[in-house]
Amino acid sequence: LDEEAMARAQAHLDDLTKPPGSLGTLETIARQLAGIKGEVPRRLSRKTHILMAGDHGVVAEGVSAFPQEVTPQMVLNFASGGAAINVLARHAGAELVLVDIGVAAELPDLPGLLKRKVAPGTANLARGPAMIREQAIAALEVGIEVANEKIAAGSELLGIGEMGIGNTTPSTAILAAFSGLPVEKITGRGTGIDDQRLQLKINAIRRGLEVNRPNPADPLDVLAKVGGLEIAGMAGVILAGAAARVPVLIDGFISGAAALVATRLAPGAKEYILASHLSEEPGHAAALELLGLKPMLTMQMRLGEGTGAALGMTMIEAAIKIYHEMATFSQAGVSGALDS
């Protein structure tokens, strides 16, 4: 990050008519944007939310409350504008890009859908590797390419989100592999499974870690063996954003797992990531802690799709307005702090 630009931004923030630091995360965001872009932009002329969809062989273990056909059904719903992310991306003024990176069904041509399928879903990670290493790399590359296309078209802020029935299972496995945290502590109910399915899910993750022995020192090994295609795609978006100096807003637990992969592959990428909300999935707080990121929102959400990231975009807009529209102490004739 551009340390000089951050120091300039901080000096301006401290000169605005408020106690220093009192706008908290709004100030942190402005400073980070200055570090990324060299100055706090006047506005974000184009914001893009990239939604990666992929399926998971591990659903055969009974880990999800919803059947796998919901993944392609929801892609159709996204394309026709009726899902939560459509509403919230419109609310945030962001364009929505759908990517079929690994749906286990043939999808028709749909408005806004990029067909970049690497495989029709992953293999069952509880029985063997979810992907071969080449698939994981190909999925990362899809994310990088899609992000680069959008950045080339003028996007100045990327949000990420996902759709994939069963995908809190690989996300939990990734977190467990990197953190060593006990699986039962970080496994949640995803879309809302009952106790019986929760136990199946914990068992599947444990078995996946035992069978595959992912090597935490080799992030690609973790991603391939216990990850997912849409997780790899989102990690690719983060890597591309960091390389092009474009901030990437992550969503909940699954995009948090993607951020773990991306920052293990390229630790410097962390500076380009912003955290949006704290999800209800128990592993998310642990993932954010590992990433060293603080969430903006505690909306008790656990939907995915990037719904939290879309809401977070409105906070980034607010931070930019604060930076450029507030008066300074001298402009407003307001007294500064007393000496003690």
Nearer of residues 17 and 148 to a copy of itself, judged by Cβ: 17
Distance in Å, CB of 291 to a copy of itself, minimum: 16
Q: Which is nearer to a copy of itself, 84 or 137 (CB)?
A: 84
Residue whose C-alpha is closest to residue 117's, from 226, 262, 254, 233: 233
Cα distance between residue 154 and residue 112, in whole Å: 17
Instruction: Assign 170 to helix, strand or coil.
Output: helix
- Is 330 a binder of a copy of itself (CB under 8 A)? no
**Structure tokens, 232:** 């790899």
Residue 305 is among the residues annotated as catalytic for this protein: yes
19 binds a copy of itself per the rule CB under 8 A: yes
Smallest gap from residue 52 Cβ to a copy of itself (A): 18
| Per rule CB under 8 A, count of chain residues that contact a copy of itself | 70
Rule CB under 8 A: is residue 9 a binding residue for a copy of itself? no
Q: Is 20 in the site for a copy of itself (CB under 8 A)?
A: yes
We find the least distance from the C-beta atom of residue 198 to a copy of itself, in angstroms, to be 10
Min. distance of Cβ 209 from a copy of itself in angstroms? 24
**From residue 235 to residue 274, what is the string marking binding to a copy of itself with x (rule CB under 8 A)?**
----------------------------------------
**Can residue 115 be called a binding residue for a copy of itself (CB under 8 A)?**
no
Least Å from the CB of residue 61 to a copy of itself: 13
Query: For 267, phi and psi rounded to 5 degrees?
Result: -55, -30
- Kindly write down the DSSP assignment for every residue of 242-294, as one continuous string: HHHT--EEE-SHHHHHHHHHHHHH-GGGGGGEEE-B--SSHHHHHHHHHHT--
Applying CB under 8 A, does 199 fall inside the site for a copy of itself?
Answer: no
Say if residue 256 is exposed, middle or buried (CB neighbours under 10 Å; 0-12, 13-18, 19+).
buried
Backbone dihedral angles phi then psi of residue 161, each to the nearest 5 degrees = -160, 180
- Residues of span 49-78 touching a copy of itself by CB under 8 A: 64-67, 69-70, 73-74, 76-77
Nearer to a copy of itself, 7 or 327 (CB): 327
Active-site entry in 156, 230, 280, 305: 305
Site for a copy of itself contains 151 (CB under 8 A)? no
Contact residue for a copy of itself among 93, 108, 128, 192 (CB under 8 A): 192
Cα distance between the two ends of the chain: 35
Cβ contact 41:320 at 8 Å: yes
Amino acid in the structure at residue 66:
F
SS3 label, residue 184:
helix
What is the spatial distance between Cα 257 and Cα 168, in angstroms, rounded to a whole number? 9
CA distance 206 to 281: 18
List of E strands, the chain: 47-54, 95-102, 113-115, 157-163, 248-250, 273-275
Q: Which is nearer to a copy of itself, 32 or 135 (CB)?
A: 32
**Among all residues, which ones are annotated catalytic?**
305
Q: Which residues bind a copy of itself (CB under 8 A)?
A: 16-26, 28, 64-67, 69-70, 73-74, 76-77, 80-84, 86-88, 90-91, 191-194, 196-197, 278, 280, 294-303, 307, 311, 314-315, 317-318, 321-322, 325-327, 331-338, 340
